[in-house]
Amino acid sequence: MQNYSCSSECPLCLNQGAPGPAAGGSGALLTAGEALCLDGRAAALGAAALLFILGLALRPWLQSLPSPYLEYAVFVTAYGLAGGEIIWKALRNLLRGRVLDEYFLMAAAGTGAAAIGELPEAVAVVLFFRVGELLEQVAVNRSRRSIAALMGARPDYAILVAPRGEEIKVSPEEVRPGQEIIVRPGEKVPLDGEIVRGESFVDQAALTGEPVPRRVSPGDPVPAGAINGSGLLRVKVLKEYSESSLAKIFKLVQEAAARKAKTEKFITRFARIYTPAVVGGAAALALIPPLIIPGAAFNTWFYRALVLLVISCPCALVISIPLGYIGGIGSASRHGILIKGGNYLEALLKVKTVVFDKTGTLTRGVFRVAQVLPHGGHTEEEILYWAAHAEIYSNHPIARSIREAYRDEIRPETVGDHEERKGLGVRASVDGKTVLAGNSRLLQEEGVAHDPCGGPGCAVYLAVEGSYIGCLVISDTVRDDAAAAVSRLKELGVTKTVMLTGDSPEAAAAVAARVGIDAYSAGLLPGGKVERIEALLAGMAGGRGKLAFVGDGINDAPALTRADVGIAMGGMGSDAAIEAADVVIMDDRPGKVAGVMQIAAFTRKIVVQNIAMALGVKGFFLLMGAFGAASVWEAVFADVGVAILAILNAGRALGYKPR
């Protein structure tokens, strides 16, 4: 059995892979064509099974008849219903150059058994193979449904508010940024936007795994895919559907299957060598003993060779191992964690160093002005005035907190030139005067002398016309589960935790002490974070494990890319960070870093169990078959039975719940 894709084999099936907008799916588990194809195969197998059972029950009577034609009619018809597709695929694959795959093995074993008169065994080989294949498809669909449970969150329509005020039902893809839509109670939010009118609770469980609805009101963002509660909302669209958070999740889910783990790649290579070797061994078993052993019957050794072929099919390995990784990815998605491929699940097992960004990762990224410290006779009101106007066009959370702290109206007409200096702050013209607002490094680069700004938190220094006038202390709150997250990582075998931040050493020291971080570096620009990560990686050379970086901001994208495993906070994180990351935590909870490592460990356990079970059982029955102690019936169990057991075992990964 291979990872059977209905769409690749049946002209009715049009939607391969996880359904979603990229594939043109509607979010259902199966398209109508796929369901029809699956039902058709099930009906054919049901008829074949009925004829098979009937033939076995009536075989003594059928064999007592003068002519064998009726017996042949029953079993050959059953064989055709169950094995016709197998023979067709084997022939087609041969023409395509795919020789000695599982379909060839099954077709050869079934046809050979029929040729020597073992009709029930011939039907059993193909029938049980197809039953296992059908069960495999059900298991794959179940995993696909779990990985893409959020596909059901895809909205089918948006209610657009037209220029004259009328409401028009349109496709989400037709709505443009800046337009406004209506979201009624119980409806899905079709696009990313900001509430302009109304209050409600929105359920984001499909996106984040968080079961508690979030209260929203005017000014709050709402993501596509969230379900509105009891209030009527009017939402200003911020992004086109293709750029929405939901569409990006679809893309991540669909790309995950393309990234195979090393174990999957090894098994694929192993099967390419193993299968031809076994076919050669079966041919030798059929031909050599009758030639060299006196009195050896060709039929006897040919039958043993057929048994060997059936046993040797590497179905359990080829199918259950990828399915185990799919189950692990599906389990993670149920808990609001998106993993972009099985290879990252394997990499997580080797993580020994975890590096955290501070703001928005270990802390909430929700800032407030804690202190205003004037200098040189200036007042608090003056400091806030200059800072709020200088930060008027900045989207940084610190800039928003400064604007919120300034109680009066901000007048955009007073602001002229505005330049945002990445990692430093802003330079703006306010009332015709040059204002600097940023960290200490910004003032140093501009040659402005200033005093250190005391107090735990992020310091924003202010200078007007080259003169230092004071500073603001901006505080952030540590996430509730941050300390527990770091502690749990250490329990799971992480030997070192590090925090990197652009904030002041005082702020970094306070957070590190509260959370339990082993080491930290403060005052870093994006390039500085990458340099620190490279230094840590250099110290880990020689098989000392892998390094994971956890961050959320656009300035974290280079560090996420450089780490062995990049983990992004997807709830409030930037698009750049999510794109650069290998794992995305959709509700910004650092505790889920330990959770995804637990899922990785459990998935690996399932995969190892399946490998050991498949190789052990097959090895035992191969030995028995070679000495004539195993019949086709035992061979069917060694092939299809073990494959089904492995598939069921792989399904356990899907329901795993990390602690």
CB 25, CB 19: distance < 8 Å: yes
What distance in Å separates the CA atoms of residue 523 and residue 444, rounded to the nearest whole number?
13
Tens-digit pLDDT profile for residues 460-476: 999 999 999 999 988 87
For the residues of 3-15, what is the DSSP string, one character each?
---HHHH-TT---
Q: Is 646 or 391 the better-scoring residue by pLDDT?
A: 391
Among the residue ranges 43-47, 132-136, 234-238, 616-620, the one predicted with the least confidence is: 132-136
- CATH numbers and ranges of domains, the chain: 6-149+260-329+600-651 (no CATH), 155-242 (2.70.150.10), 339-364+479-586 (3.40.50.1000), 368-475 (3.40.1110.10)
The predicted structure's pLDDT at residue 6: 37
CB 365, CB 556: distance < 8 Å: no
What is the average pLDDT across 200-221? 73
Q: Is 560 or 24 the better-scoring residue by pLDDT?
A: 560
Residue whose entry in the numeric block shows the structure tokens 């200088």: 390
Q: Is 113 or 178 the better-scoring residue by pLDDT?
A: 178
Q: Does residue 21 surpass a pLDDT of 50? A: no
CA distances from 598 to 143, 602, 653 (A): 19, 6, 11
Q: Cα angle at 302 between 299 and 303, to 5 degrees?
A: 85
Average pLDDT for the chain: 78
What distance in Å separates the CA atoms of residue 582 and residue 604, rounded to the nearest whole number?
18
The predicted structure's pLDDT at residue 317: 67
The phi and psi torsions of 525 (rounded to 5 degrees) equal -85, 170
pLDDT band at residue 253, thresholds of 50, 70 and 90? low
- Percentage of the chain with pLDDT > 70? 77
The predicted structure's pLDDT at residue 618: 77
The predicted structure's pLDDT at residue 539: 85
What is the average pLDDT across 440-458? 84
- Catalytic residue numbers, as ranges: 357
The predicted structure's pLDDT at residue 18: 34
pLDDT band at residue 10, thresholds of 50, 70 and 90? very low
What distance in Å separates the CA atoms of residue 340 and residue 153, rounded to the nearest whole number?
19
Q: Does residue 68 surpass a pLDDT of 90? A: no
Q: Does residue 252 surpass a pLDDT of 70? A: no
Whole-model pTM: value is 0.61
Inter-axis angle of helices 32-57 and 69-95, nearest 10: 140
Q: For residue 129, which of 4, 31, 227, 242 has the smallest C-alpha distance?
A: 4
Q: Does residue 549 surpass a pLDDT of 90? A: yes
The predicted structure's pLDDT at residue 91: 84
CB 525, CB 330: distance < 8 Å: no
How many of the other CB atoms lie within 10 Å of CB of 516?
A: 15
The predicted structure's pLDDT at residue 455: 66
Q: At 284, list the tokens.
A: 């030798």
The predicted structure's pLDDT at residue 320: 67
What distance in Å separates the CA atoms of residue 338 and residue 344, rounded to the nearest whole number?
11
Tens-digit pLDDT profile for residues 147-186: 445 445 556 788 999 888 888 989 888 999 999 999 998 8
Amino acid at 642: V
Provide the b/e sequence for 391-401 (b: ≥16 CB within 10 Å). Answer: bbebeebbbeb
Provide the b/e sequence for 97-113 (b: ≥16 CB within 10 Å). Answer: eeebbbbbbbbbbbbbb
Q: For residue 236, which of 219, 215, 248, 249 has the smallest C-alpha distance?
A: 219
CB 408, CB 368: distance < 8 Å: no
- Size of the chain, expressed as the number of residues it contains: 659
The phi and psi torsions of 282 (rounded to 5 degrees) equal -65, -40
For the residues of 403-464, what is the DSSP string, one character each?
HHH--S---GGGEEEEEEETTTEEEEEETTEEEEEE-HHHHHHTT-------SSSEEEEEEE
Give the residues across from 569 on adjacent strands: 585
